Amino acid sequence: PASLSMDIVVSTLIMFVAVLVAAIWAARRLARPLRHMALAADRLGRDVTAPPLPEEGPEEVRRAAEAFNRMQSRLRRLVEDRMQMLAAISHDLRTPITLLRLRAEFMQDKTEQAKTLQTLDEMAEMVNSLLAFAREEAAEEEMRVVDLAALVETVCVDLADTGAKVTCRLAEPLPMSCRVSAVRRAVTNLVSNAVRHGGEASVAVETTPGQVRIIVEDEGPGIPEGELEQVFRPFYRVERSRNRDTGGVGLGLAVVRSVARQHGGDAFVKNRPDRGLRAIMALPLTPASAAGDTL
């Protein structure tokens, strides 16, 4: 009887362990697709061109993945249609602006002529910015490996050659996988924005575990605390009255955040304690070996 009781206990324990192992395996098999779906939903919030979910697993999970992929496809088409329409409108506006400029050249009143030409210049700049923004949003540039530190240094040197006051403090060579043209455009926007509104720009590249930060500081007046997030909205300008003096149509930082989020990062700004603004573009450090040779 004692040995029989022990056999029953052992058998019960073995059955319990077997059931527990089977339950853990089943839970993990079900949870894995759900984790993938959660990650895909997070990626979709940053980039509608992200790869679709694999439609595998239990039937309920497959159906959920199929529905998610259909939603992503509709969102992608919606964004593409919006950008194509924006690009078409911007392109069509170029012709009347050119005609108005030709007419303005024959105006007798030189004061009014100067004002009219300045307004037309601003309209042309806005149209060109719209086209660039539409192309950026719709672009599907391939990921390539680049030395990010060298890319940032090139942007700084190019802007300094135009007379801009730019200082650069860089890290060691930093190969990483990214959309090279998009990142170059975003860095150019960050530095140009600092020079335009702050008179000069100080640029640094810093790395933390799993992340690289491109930091641009200026000596300008900063931004009211309540508007630090709004400056990333397309066409938003903190001081609309100063637009004629500083230029810009309010798309530079919108492009920066768009590019950062396409790479799984983000961009934000904050006022410095003493004076000026600090703009940061944070990107995940993607393994460089995944994309080939360094540019």
Instruction: Report DSSP letters for 110-158, one per residue.
Output: HHHHHHHHHHHHHHHHHHHHHHHHHHHHH--PPPEEEEHHHHHHHHHHH
Residues 145 and 286 sit within 8 Å (Cβ to Cβ): no
CATH 1.10.287.130 occupies which residues in the chain?
1-140
Question: Higher pLDDT residue, 119 or 251?
Answer: 119
For domain 1-140, which CATH number applies: 1.20.120.10, 3.50.50.60, 1.20.210.10, 1.10.287.130? 1.10.287.130
Helices 110-138 and 180-198, axial angle in degrees (round to 10): 150
pLDDT at 138 over 90: no
Instruction: Quote the CATH superfamily of domain 141-295.
Output: Histidine kinase-like ATPase, C-terminal domain (3.30.565.10)
pLDDT at 229 over 70: yes
Mean pLDDT over each residue of the chain, to the nearest integer: 80
Q: Per residue in 52-68, pLDDT tens?
A: 877 877 777 788 888 88
